[in-house]
């Protein structure tokens, strides 16, 4: 059994017209950093039949935090994201009591360098994992790569920079913008920056099958193209519970 329970909206942070974060309070069961849950609301556009609509969203907050924080992109014609965007403090929505997913640090095999690749709002699971900070001493270096279209979409860069300080040299951060040039970020798409050896050169580390594990979270096209590059150029394969590999992935649709 995994019932729907009430989640109270504490606040909504509207970063841009398309990016926002929900701060919720709900009596969910304990979860692991990197997992996701499902939110649900009623579709009031159909007055004759109020159907419940639901979507899956990752936690951005650490499991130890009192409140739930979820980072969401507002889709132009998306019913769910627009309903959530227009919520107000004090409103109630639904959330599942138990969380989902295996994109968690305990599923990652030991390695020297752990690479975390994210596009857009898929930075959420990594923020949760890094804020929690458990079971990360197995890695010498953690490299967090966040790719967005424009520099102003790096909403959680201040949090990432604070985490950089906390990890005292263990955490490397590299941002990427695909649609504009900025001296603070690389410009382009992750797969192309890997193919041209620009990303690894900038970070100062290389992705190797005998020393590295790669976590991919975000746009399915990025994941597909990056997996193909790693397979063909670095002799890496998808990590499974039944068969150890080098790549762990989570698609964001």
Find how far residue 13's CA is from the centre of its chain.
17
Q: Grade residue 251 by pLDDT with cuts at 50, 70 and 90.
A: confident
| Contacts of 245 by beta carbon, 8 Å cutoff, 6+ apart | 236, 237, 238, 239
Look at residue 185 and tell me whether its pLDDT is greater than 90: yes
- Give the mean model confidence (pLDDT) for residues 30-40: 98
Look at residue 103 and tell me whether its pLDDT is greater than 70: yes
H or E stretch including 161?
helix 157-166
Encode burial over 206-239: b for 16+ CB neighbours within 10 A, e otherwise. Answer: ebebeebbbbbbbbeebbebbbebbeeebebeeb
* Confidence (pLDDT) at 98: 98
Residue 164 phi, psi (nearest 5): -55, -45
Q: What ranges make up the beta strands (E) of 127-225?
A: 141-148, 171-177, 186-187, 212-218
Look at residue 144 and tell me whether its pLDDT is greater than 80: yes
Tokens standing for residue 232: 């063909």
* Confidence (pLDDT) at 49: 58
* Confidence (pLDDT) at 46: 59
Residue tagged 């974060």 (tokens) = 21
Q: What is the mean pLDDT of the chain?
A: 95
pTM of the model: 0.95
DSSP state of 67: S
Residue tagged 């966040």 (tokens) = 146
Tell me the per-residue pLDDT of 71-94, one tens digit each, with 9 for 90 and over.
999 999 999 999 999 999 999 999
- Give the mean model confidence (pLDDT) for residues 175-183: 95
- Give the mean model confidence (pLDDT) for residues 165-193: 96
Cα distances (angstroms) measured from residue 243 to each of 24, 58, 99, 100: 37, 26, 25, 21
* Confidence (pLDDT) at 132: 98
Q: Grade residue 241 by pLDDT with cuts at 50, 70 and 90.
A: confident
- Give the mean model confidence (pLDDT) for residues 186-192: 98
Proportion of the chain above pLDDT 90, given as a percent: 91
Find how far residue 166's CA is from the centre of its chain.
20
* Confidence (pLDDT) at 253: 58
- Give the mean model confidence (pLDDT) for residues 31-37: 98
- Give the mean model confidence (pLDDT) for residues 108-125: 98
Q: Find out whether 167 and 142 touch, Cβ atoms under 8 Å.
A: yes
Q: Find out whether 60 and 124 touch, Cβ atoms under 8 Å.
A: yes
Tell me the per-residue pLDDT of 38-62, one tens digit each, with 9 for 90 and over.
999 998 665 555 688 999 999 999 9
Q: Find out whether 85 and 74 touch, Cβ atoms under 8 Å.
A: yes
Tokens standing for residue 233: 């150029």
- Give the mean model confidence (pLDDT) for residues 17-36: 98
Q: Find out whether 41 and 6 touch, Cβ atoms under 8 Å.
A: no
In the chain, the domains with their CATH numbers are 4-96 (2.40.30.10), 105-251 (3.40.50.80)
């Amino acid at each position: 059994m995994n019932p729907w329970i009430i989640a109270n909206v504490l606040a909504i942070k509207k970063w841009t017209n398309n990016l926002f974060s929900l701060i919720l309070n709900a009596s969910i069961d304990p979860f692991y950093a990197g997992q996701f849950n499902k939110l649900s609301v009623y579709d009031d556009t159909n007055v004759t039949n109020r159907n419940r609509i639901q979507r899956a969203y990752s936690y951005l907050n650490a499991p130890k935090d009192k409140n739930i924080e979820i980072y969401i992109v507002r889709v132009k014609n998306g019913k769910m994201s627009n309903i959530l965007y227009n919520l107000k403090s004090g409103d109630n929505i639904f959330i599942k009591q138990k969380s989902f997913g295996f994109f968690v640090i305990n599923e990652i095999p030991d390695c020297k360098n752990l690479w975390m690749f994210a596009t857009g709002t898929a930075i959420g699971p990594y923020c949760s994992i890094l804020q929690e900070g458990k079971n990360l001493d197995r890695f010498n270096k953690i490299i967090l790569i966040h790719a967005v279209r424009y520099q102003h979409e790096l909403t959680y860069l201040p949090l990432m920079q604070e985490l950089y300080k906390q990890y005292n040299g263990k955490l490397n951060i590299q941002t990427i913008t695909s649609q504009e040039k900025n001296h603070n970020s690389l410009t382009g798409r992750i797969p192309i920056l890997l193919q041209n050896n620009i990303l690894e050169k900038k970070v100062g580390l290389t992705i190797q099958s005998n020393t590295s594990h790669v976590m991919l979270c975000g746009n399915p096209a990025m994941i597909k193209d990056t997996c193909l590059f790693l397979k063909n150029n670095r002799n890496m394969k998808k990590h499974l519970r039944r068969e150890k590999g080098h790549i762990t992935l989570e698609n964001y649709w």
